[in-house]
Amino acid sequence: MDKIDEFKNFVKDNNYLVDYVRDKKKTWQELYELYDMYGEDKSIWNNYLKDNNINDRHRNSFNELFDMAKNIDVDKLQNGITSLQKAISLFGDLFINNNSNDDNAYQPRPIYRRFDD
């Protein structure tokens, strides 16, 4: 059990290994076998370096974001924002009118009272 606990601690310290399992590039069994045979030898784990993996992901994310920004139609975006502003304004006017109508609500006069009293 000690070797398994050591492997768990190694994975906690090098959590980028989880990405390899999630991406189905490696299984936990394969990673454990590497750890069992070679331990924490850096020359074995160089293929799974955190820095390379993270830099590639950041580059890919940035490229995807840039491509998405290139495909945005500015006119449609402006029309959507204008429509949203109009809807918010309409709802605001409705709520403001409801509150002001409550202050000027109809109050019936007493039954036996005349207009001049």
Specify if 108 maps to a domain: no
Specify if 112 maps to a domain: no
Q: What is the pLDDT of residue 58?
A: 60
**pTM of the model as a whole:** 0.42
Q: What is the pLDDT of residue 54?
A: 53
Per residue in 31-73, pLDDT (tens digit) is 888 888 888 888 888 877 654 455 556 666 777 877 788 888 8
Gap between the Cα atoms of 68 and 75, Å rounded: 16
CA-closest candidate to residue 60, choices 24, 15, 19: 19
Specify if 62 maps to a domain: yes
Specify if 116 maps to a domain: no
* Residue 10 scores a pLDDT above 60: yes
Specify if 90 maps to a domain: yes
Specify if 110 maps to a domain: no
23-27 average pLDDT score: 86
Per residue in 75-114, pLDDT (tens digit) is 888 999 999 999 999 988 888 766 555 556 677 777 776 6
Which structural domain, as residue segments, surrounds residue 61? 2-95
Q: What is the pLDDT of residue 86?
A: 93
The H or E element containing residue 100 is helix 74-103
CA-closest candidate to residue 21, choices 7, 9, 11: 11
Q: What is the pLDDT of residue 50?
A: 57
Specify if 39 maps to a domain: yes
Q: What is the pLDDT of residue 101?
A: 53
Q: How many structural domains does the chain have?
A: 1
Specify if 115 maps to a domain: no
